[in-house]
Copies of this chain bind each other. A is one copy, B any other.
Amino acid sequence: MSAVSDSIERFIVELLSEANNVELQRNELAQAFGCAPSQINYVLSTRFSPEHGYIITSKRGGGGHITIARIVLTEGDLLRQLVTGGIGEALSLSRARAIVSRLRAEDAVSDREAALLLSAAGDNPSIPAALRDHLRAETLQKMLMDLIRATPGE
């Protein structure tokens, strides 16, 4: 049932559970999972983007490699950063998902709160498509701001 990309993701997450960053070789990994090397890039860009809280660096040529590092921030920093412009004027659904999943991963929100954020940030068919990304950005930003307000200061 589960696609190869999901397995690769789990593998990397597993590695990252033991260290804040991992270094690996694209071809080697692709071979281990029996897929095209470019699929590794697909997994990295769809599941380990900066929005997800990761930074990817790489080097080509002989001895080349890819490094995946987790961005470590305190909960307050992350929320503050998002609310003060980290979201922008428009926000695609996939970026919104990444942001929420990162908030969850950093434990800035609970499972239920993440579900509420995602739910409200989802596409709404009764809104013209051209407006959606704009509305989504506004909604998410407002929600995060209100969330901070509702949280007794630390």
- Please list the residues of chain A having a beta carbon within 8 angstroms of any beta carbon in chain B: 1-6, 23, 25, 61-63, 65, 110-120, 122, 124, 126-127, 131, 134-135, 138-139, 142-143, 145-147, 149-151
Interface residues of chain A: helix, strand, loop or mixed (majority)? helix
The answer to whether B116 touches A2 (Cβ under 8 A) is no
With A127-B127, A139-B120, A150-B115 known to touch, is A25 a contact of B3 (CB < 8 Å)? Answer: no
The answer to whether A116 touches B114 (Cβ under 8 A) is no
Stoichiometry, as copies per complex, reads: 2
Q: Once the chains are docked, how many angstroms separate the CA of A23 from the CA of B149?
A: 37
Residue from the list B119, B127, B147 in contact with A146, Cβ < 8 A: B119
Question: Which B residues are in CB contact (< 8 Å) with A146?
Answer: 115-116, 118-119
Identify the closest chain B residue to A111 (Cβ): B150
Q: Once the chains are docked, how many angstroms separate the CA of A39 from the CA of B103?
A: 38
The answer to whether A116 touches B118 (Cβ under 8 A) is no
Question: Which B residues are in CB contact (< 8 Å) with A2?
Answer: 63
The answer to whether B143 touches A119 (Cβ under 8 A) is yes
Question: Which B residues are in CB contact (< 8 Å) with A149?
Answer: 115
6 of the cross-chain contacts (CB-CB < 8 Å) are A3-B62, A115-B150, A116-B116, A118-B146, A120-B120, A120-B142
Q: Once the chains are docked, how many angstroms separate the CA of A149 from the CA of B65?
A: 38
Interface centre among A116, A118, A134 (most CB of B within 10 A): A116
Identify the closest chain B residue to A116 (Cβ): B116
Question: Which B residues are in CB contact (< 8 Å) with A5?
Answer: 62-63
Interface centre among A4, A63, A111, A135 (most CB of B within 10 A): A63
